[in-house]
Structure 1
Amino acid sequence: MNDLANNSMSAQSNGLRLDFNTPAQQRKRRVRAFKDRLTRWYVSIGGLAVLGAITLIFFYLAHVVLPIFAGAELKPLKAQQPAWLAAQNDALLLAVEEQNKVAMRLDRAGQVQFFTLKDSAPLNRVQLPLPAGASITSVSQDQPGSHRVLLGLSNGQVLVFTHTYPVTYPDNVKTITPTLQYPFGEAPIVLDPQGRALEHVALSENGDTLMLAGSTGAELSLLSISREENLMTGEVSQDETRIGLPQIAEPIKALVIDPRQQWLYVINGKATADVFDLRSKSLNGRYAMLKGDAEVSTLSPLLGGTSLLVGDSKGGIAQWFMVRDGDGKSVLTHIRDFSLGEKPITQIVPEERRKGFMALDADGMLGIFHSTAHRTLLVERVADGPTHAALSPRASRLLVESNGQLQRFVVDNPHPEVSWSALWSKVWYENYDEPRYVWQSTSANSDFEPKLSLAPLTFGTLKAAFYAMILAAPLAICAAIYTAYFMAPAMRRKVKPVIELMEALPTVILGFFAGLFLAPYVEGHLPGIFSLLLLTPVGVLLAAYLWSRLPEKVRLAIPEGWEAALLIPVILGVGALSLGMSGHLENWLFGGDMRHWLSNDLGIAFDQRNALVVGLAMGFAVIPNIFSIAEDAVFSVPKSLTFGSLALGATPWQTMTRVVILTASPGIFSALMIGLGRAVGETMIVLMATGNTPIMDMNIFEGLRTLAANTAVEMPESEVGSSHYRVLFLAALVLLSFTFVMNTLAEVIRTRLRKKYASL
């Protein structure tokens, strides 16, 4: 500026005049203005693009997740009133085959009519081989999906048949040919030796054993039929065994045999269940199922046969199954309730592939429910008055017969397994002794009960972050303060880049190292690891004390700010001593095996890949983030504040604690929040070093599974659009929301800290 002013004055004194509007100057100003506008637009568009990308991520995740909370829908199709229906008796049973092409109807006269589901056109009619003069008095089906039917007759006999739908391709045309099969012969089986009409029947086939139960009044008949095939001749022989059980005083209203043929459930009286142990042939117990004046109106097993669905005369549906109590005895336990209306429940139709079911009442109301999710998905009227219904194996079609008409419905119910309670509350799953938080998305059997609780995954995420931050936060913050405030500038220029270089180490390498080397090493040197954590601070303090007692001549020989280099041999020595005496400590204090001592003497479970390993490995990964940001914040404190405090008589320690740290507190807090966000979102380290077990236990020696690791593991194997797939996206949304909330809270706190200490 002075040169420009001198030149201007010189030019004026010489009679010359500077021209700032030359073409070159104007072009230069235009280029500079263009660069300024371009930079301003570039920064603005970049910032808006980042915000827009984050918003789009939220909207996309919400778009994928929201369908799992939608209910079911019914789309009615045109009602059919075929001529053949008017000529038949009342329906006992309706069924729909796998492809939703063919349906079956059984009437009281023993006629089975197969017809097309689309237009109710008759296909073929089969007359069941009923004995002369006998009529059907009761009907029962085996477990959902088995297609086995048992008919109780008026002469005390029963007939077992199955309806199948084989597919053939004659002339390359897909053809479904419905047939009936009699796996135990076409001749009826005598169940009641006295020949009395069977009011209620039940069956269960397990391998080569068929269990049949029937009742007349209060008397119970039970028959076991075993089949054995001769491998040499191919002949099949049958052995019948009658099973005697304690008799019941009150009339029987319903029977169910579980698939393992261990329990026989007998509903009698108004609302009492007698449970018989078929293996010991004894009464397990008598249980009151309903309260007040309600009566049991219908009974059906859920998919898998473990649970009983009990419909009552007040429109309620209760789920029950056997649970082991504290003494190890199995007792029938009430699990959860559903409500359809106020009319008696007339029929319960379980799904064949999920733990859902449909229920009909006497007023024609239909309800769609899911047992595990404890969810009512739909309540809608489908007919006026009594109805009879069948659900297709894929639960996508519903066939209802009412008032001489066949009404078809398209069922849209893709995600019944998910509810708020199933995601975040304890759920009482079948074969469990109590309600629990469980994540188990897949299984090998078809009657699996999905366990999609996000609680253990969220707990594991916070647990991993907690133990990582316990290790990383104190070390990183203290190191940052010492490096920025006490360390010599020359040493700082060497130490800071080395620590920041640790951040470039891929986390997959850290996870690989932690899982394959660190985990077994920690397991074999537990006393040494804990000794190292305890003795390192003691060793540092002892070294500092001894250093302060050395002659001043020796202490002054080390340049100021380089004292930290003396701690390197101290830490290495403490580490060598701690790990070297690990075996001796284990033999002396823990009987030679600290892991065995923890498990047997203290009752603390121990897994090789546990939270301690995660804390060490992930803490190492988080330290560079926290250190770098906190060190910059401390180093950026104006030197005038430091010099002013020292000039007023404060010691360097007082200056650091009362001026420097308070001024740098917004930056330090930001460093901690960024480190926490890194720990919460970490994937590969927790995936490879934790055992990946979704359990809820703060035990440092137990494994865990995090939201991020679970998504990384299961997303490639999930079916696109399935409930499992969408719940994984929900886990990602929970993780993103948690990070967003934490960052927002951190920004609010950081802003307040900056305002509070801005006057220093």
Structure 2
Amino acid sequence: MTDFRLPDLPSESASQRSLLPNAEQRKALRQKRARRDQYSRWGITASGFGVVIALLTIFVYLFYEVAPILKGATIEEDVQYSLSQTGLEDVEHLVLERYETLAIAYSPDGQVVVFDVANGAPEARFDVPKPEGSQFHSFFSAEAISATQVYGLDNGQAVVVRHGFDISFPNDQRQLTPKLEFPLGESAITIDDQGQPLKLISMETQTRGRNASAIAALTEDNRLLLASLTGRENLLTGQVQITRQVTELPAPPGGTGDISKLMVDKALRSLFALDEDGRVHYYDISNPAEARLVESVDVGGGNEVSASAFLVGGVSLIFGNDAGELSQWFLVRDDQNQYRLEEIRSFRSHKAAIREITPEYTRKGFIAVDADGQIGVHYGTSSRTLYLDSHADVPIEEMAISQINTRLLWLDQDNQLVSAELWNEHPQLSWAAMWNKVWYEGREDPEYIWQSSSATDEFESKFSLVPLSVGTLKAAFYAMLFAMPLAIAGAIYTAYFMTPKLRGVVKPSIEIMEALPTVILGFLAGLWLAPFVENELPAVFSFLILMPVVMILFAFAWSKLPTRWRLLVPEGWEAAALVPVILIFGTLCLQASPWMEVWFFGGSMRQWFTDIGINYDQRNALIVGIAMGFAVIPTIFSIAEDAVFTVPRHLTQGSLALGATRWQTMIGVVLPTASPGIFSAVMMGFGRAVGETMIVLMATGNSPVVNFNIFEGMRTLSANIAVELPETAVGSSHFRVLFLAALVLLALTFIVNTLAEIIRQRLRQRYSSL
């Protein structure tokens, strides 16, 4: 029997043994390694917590900026004194000036007193001129921002006055000098040629485009008159020449005897006569000579209307009844192109009859006071009641609000004047107004609208986040619709079927696309791709729809070629043979595009879309889908390709050894195993598309519309923030809404990524047994 012996190993020399660590040194090395492992665990854990804390900090900061939106209004009284300190015994109307230091009081007998808000001390006194022997008989205050009042006389005439202030800065201190102006001249204007007393009067002035005014009056003998006035100032003498046209209006049903208030809108197109039964009679006075009664509407709900006012702009009417109910109405055009008065919304009710309604100067809000001394702060568009509390034991008779909406001044039945600080910064914002349809003035129906700025003073900001959220999802949807098939199919082919040499060229080439600045893609999409697609619509659709068919036909034809021909192309290089086919077919589509427009679309495919009712914007979702798709493809491709390529080889080799084809192995083994990585790639691409800014900013037209029409543009949350945040005032409602949009965007991506991670882990557990 042969004796097999292992060769003797060379023994360690003494010098070599001296280099090896002894027991104590090995123990020290183990302790050092353990410390390093511990430090690494601590560092990784701290970094993880740091990421979480950073994310929470972003959430907290965004919510800190958004939180004031949720806050209501507050009223804090700070000064109270008797009306007698101003030198008046009775007040018809109160006004607070812009800087909240002076107030103006109009008395029924034609006295105008300007006094200090802090202590009631008179600063100036004016007497409204009237013809000798006449007396003041009625009073009306026009829209607050116009600072215009009208007195009706007992001789059928009217006097129009307007208060104002000259501002100077002696010794660098602001000084306000009150003044009383007469926009239609100091002479009284004859309204009733018969000289009957004017027991009710109303007035409004239109200064945009023409210097025109309208005065409506109800005479003592119950005739309803409308005076149309046009003023022209002589540039040399300064005198105002008035052109007057007086029309007697038809009496409403039941006569004019029970009319309690007249209201003319700012456009001088409508007159509303309110009667004691809670009905409003709507007159169309756009052509005064042919003025007509349009309709009579019950706005009191069976109760007497105790107070009414126009909101700023003279479109919406607010009615308060003796049951404490408040409602907003305005004219809506019906199917017959006729305007009808319609109730739009209601507000939280007071406990007693509404005594006074004071609109804000520049917003669609108003202050309502009732017979129990309650003060309510309401806002029209958002349908919010921001404050409702009692501030007096007796009814409040008059209320004034400053032009900047930060101070109130009211007079109660005991002739006590009270000044109070008002905080009411964001009344137009509410969750309902930002996420539900809102019925805005001048609209036929409730709508989702984002419109943050306008040129008019009475503009109503529209802050619906629905168009922006829909636009964000729309842009991401079409980008993913374009990118997902190309990226995932390309990743599968590159990782599993392509030869390593060709893969070494293709994969880095696609991944380097991710380094291309998105502003360049947006620039190309907006200035080159959008006009190109518009001019070559048949070619684009032919390419997008027919190219997959051509590729399938090429694959079928390739499979039918003789084997010796197919072997001329090495395995894994078949994709190279497809490149000429794609180029040739694309060229044919472009060459045939003009002929297809003539044959099938009457010479213009875009016009054909318009004729069948489809709007086509040059910068639309199709352009965004293509441009953003190219930005998203590298992200999805890279992650998905790595997931497919790293599938263990023993799984694929085992499947092939059992007789499965390469495609069967791909579908049954590779895809299930790589599905968590592919799903992660898709979610990463979706998050990339949701947060994209520059491409959608430059290639969408930025129209905040609510639809998924591929031929119309959109506005996304990120693009909206980028466009409007630099222009907004810090701390304004617009500023807060933009931060809310950022919070919504962050929450959306956080939720999507969280769900994606949960699904990825479940897929990983499901296919881990492979």
Q: TM-score normalised by the shorter chain: which range applies?
A: over 0.9
Return the alpha-carbon distance in structure 1 between the equivalents of residues 606 and 113 of structure 2.
Answer: 68
Residue 284 of structure 1: CA displacement? Answer: 4.8
Give the counterpart letter for 1:256 in structure 2. M
SS state of the match for residue 55, structure 1? helix
1:348 equivalent to 2:360? Answer no
Residue 44 of structure 1: CA displacement? Answer: 2.5
Please list, as runs of the form range in 1=range in 2, the aligned pairs for 1:17-36 lying within 5 A after superposition: 20-21=21-22, 32-33=33-34, 35-36=36-37
Paired position in structure 2 for 1:272:
279
Query: Does the 8 Å CA contact 1:116/1:123 hold for their aligned counterparts?
Result: yes
- Say if 1:437 and 1:447 are closer, same or farther in 2 by CA, change over 3 A: same
Give the counterpart letter for 1:43 in structure 2. I
Residue 114 of structure 1: CA displacement? Answer: 1.4
Query: Does the 8 Å CA contact 2:651/2:669 hold for their aligned counterparts?
Result: yes
Among 528, 534, 555, the residue aligned to 1:523: 534
Paired position in structure 2 for 1:166:
166
Residue 240 of structure 1: CA displacement? Answer: 1.6
Give deviations 1:649-692, integer Å, cap 9, x for gaps.
21111111111101111111111111111111110000000011
1:396 equivalent to 2:419? Answer no
SS state of the match for residue 80, structure 2? coil
SS state of the match for residue 160, structure 1? strand
Deviates more, 1:224-233 or 1:318-327: 224-233
Among 545, 558, 561, the residue aligned to 1:547: 558
- Say if 1:131 and 1:655 are closer, same or farther in 2 by CA, change over 3 A: same
Q: What 5-or-longer segments of structure 2 have no aligned partner?
A: 1-6
Give deviations 1:228-284, integer Å, cap 9, x for gaps.
244576654222211232123142121111112111111124122222121332325
SS state of the match for residue 458, structure 1? helix
Query: Does the 8 Å CA contact 2:300/2:319 hold for their aligned counterparts?
Result: no
Return the alpha-carbon distance in structure 2 between the equivalents of residues 540 and 549 of structure 1.
Answer: 14
- Say if 1:197 and 1:364 are closer, same or farther in 2 by CA, change over 3 A: farther
Residue 15 of structure 1: CA displacement? Answer: 12
Amino-acid identity (%): 48
1:222 equivalent to 2:226? Answer yes
Query: Does the 8 Å CA contact 2:487/2:636 hold for their aligned counterparts?
Result: yes
1:330 equivalent to 2:339? Answer yes
Give the counterpart letter for 2:676 in structure 1. P
SS state of the match for residue 554, structure 1? helix
Give deviations 1:139-177, integer Å, cap 9, x for gaps.
211112111001123333322111112112344442211
SS state of the match for residue 115, structure 1? strand
Return the alpha-carbon distance in structure 1 between the equivalents of residues 497 and 299 of structure 2.
Answer: 76
Query: Does the 8 Å CA contact 1:8/1:18 hold for their aligned counterparts?
Result: no
Give deviations 1:181-202, integer Å, cap 9, x for gaps.
2222333323233433323211
Residue 25 of structure 1: CA displacement? Answer: 6.4
Query: Does the 8 Å CA contact 1:487/1:561 hold for their aligned counterparts?
Result: yes
Residue 12 of structure 1: CA displacement? Answer: 9.6
Query: Does the 8 Å CA contact 1:441/1:451 hold for their aligned counterparts?
Result: yes
- Say if 1:53 and 1:352 are closer, same or farther in 2 by CA, change over 3 A: same
Give the counterpart letter for 1:478 in structure 2. A
Give deviations 1:525-550, integer Å, cap 9, x for gaps.
00000000122111111111111111
Query: Does the 8 Å CA contact 1:368/1:378 hold for their aligned counterparts?
Result: yes
Deviates more, 1:70-79 or 1:726-735: 70-79
SS state of the match for residue 592, structure 1? coil
Give deviations 1:43-75, integer Å, cap 9, x for gaps.
222222211111100000000001011100111
Paired position in structure 2 for 1:538:
549
SS state of the match for residue 422, structure 2? strand
Give the counterpart letter for 2:479 in structure 1. A
1:253 equivalent to 2:253? Answer no
Query: Does the 8 Å CA contact 1:535/1:574 hold for their aligned counterparts?
Result: no
Question: Number of paired residues?
Answer: 753
Deviates more, 1:101-110 or 1:689-698: 101-110
TM-score in terms of structure 1 length: 0.95
Paired position in structure 2 for 1:3:
none
Paired position in structure 1 for 2:4:
none
CA RMSD in angstroms comes to 2.2
SS state of the match for residue 674, structure 2? helix
Query: Does the 8 Å CA contact 2:280/2:299 hold for their aligned counterparts?
Result: no
Q: What 5-or-longer segments of structure 1 have no aligned partner?
A: 1-5
Please list, as runs of the form range in 1=range in 2, the aligned pairs for 1:156-235 lying within 5 A after superposition: 156-206=156-206, 207-216=210-219, 218-230=222-234
Please list, as runs of the form range in 1=range in 2, the aligned pairs for 1:698-737 lying within 5 A after superposition: 698-737=708-747
Return the alpha-carbon distance in structure 2 between the equivalents of residues 121 and 505 of structure 1.
Answer: 70
SS state of the match for residue 323, structure 2? coil
Paired position in structure 2 for 1:495:
506
Please list, as runs of the form range in 1=range in 2, the aligned pairs for 1:294-373 lying within 5 A after superposition: 294-373=303-382
Return the alpha-carbon distance in structure 2 between the equivalents of residues 392 and 126 of structure 1.
Answer: 21
1:418 equivalent to 2:429? Answer yes
1:136 equivalent to 2:136? Answer yes
Deviates more, 1:380-389 or 1:611-620: 380-389
1:67 equivalent to 2:68? Answer yes
Paired position in structure 1 for 2:684:
674
Give deviations 1:594-621, integer Å, cap 9, x for gaps.
0011101x11011100000001101111
1:383 equivalent to 2:392? Answer yes
- Say if 1:229 and 1:131 are closer, same or farther in 2 by CA, change over 3 A: closer
Give deviations 1:628-656, integer Å, cap 9, x for gaps.
11111111111111111111121111111
Give the counterpart letter for 2:50 in structure 1. A
SS state of the match for residue 229, structure 2? strand
Paired position in structure 2 for 1:88:
88
1:697 equivalent to 2:704? Answer no
SS state of the match for residue 346, structure 1? strand
Paired position in structure 1 for 2:145:
145
TM-score in terms of structure 2 length: 0.94
Return the alpha-carbon distance in structure 2 between the equivalents of residues 549 and 172 of structure 1.
Answer: 94
Among 635, 640, 645, the residue aligned to 1:635: 645
Residue 128 of structure 1: CA displacement? Answer: 2.5
1:263 equivalent to 2:270? Answer yes
SS state of the match for residue 741, structure 1? helix
SS state of the match for residue 332, structure 2? strand
Deviates more, 1:264-273 or 1:89-98: 264-273
Query: Does the 8 Å CA contact 1:483/1:631 hold for their aligned counterparts?
Result: yes
Give deviations 1:551-589, integer Å, cap 9, x for gaps.
111112222111111111111111111122111111111
Give deviations 1:686-730, integer Å, cap 9, x for gaps.
000001110112111101000000000000001001000010000
Please list, as runs of the form range in 1=range in 2, the aligned pairs for 1:649-668 lying within 5 A after superposition: 649-668=659-678
Deviates more, 1:308-317 or 1:281-290: 281-290
Deviates more, 1:566-575 or 1:460-469: 566-575
Query: Does the 8 Å CA contact 1:156/1:197 hold for their aligned counterparts?
Result: yes
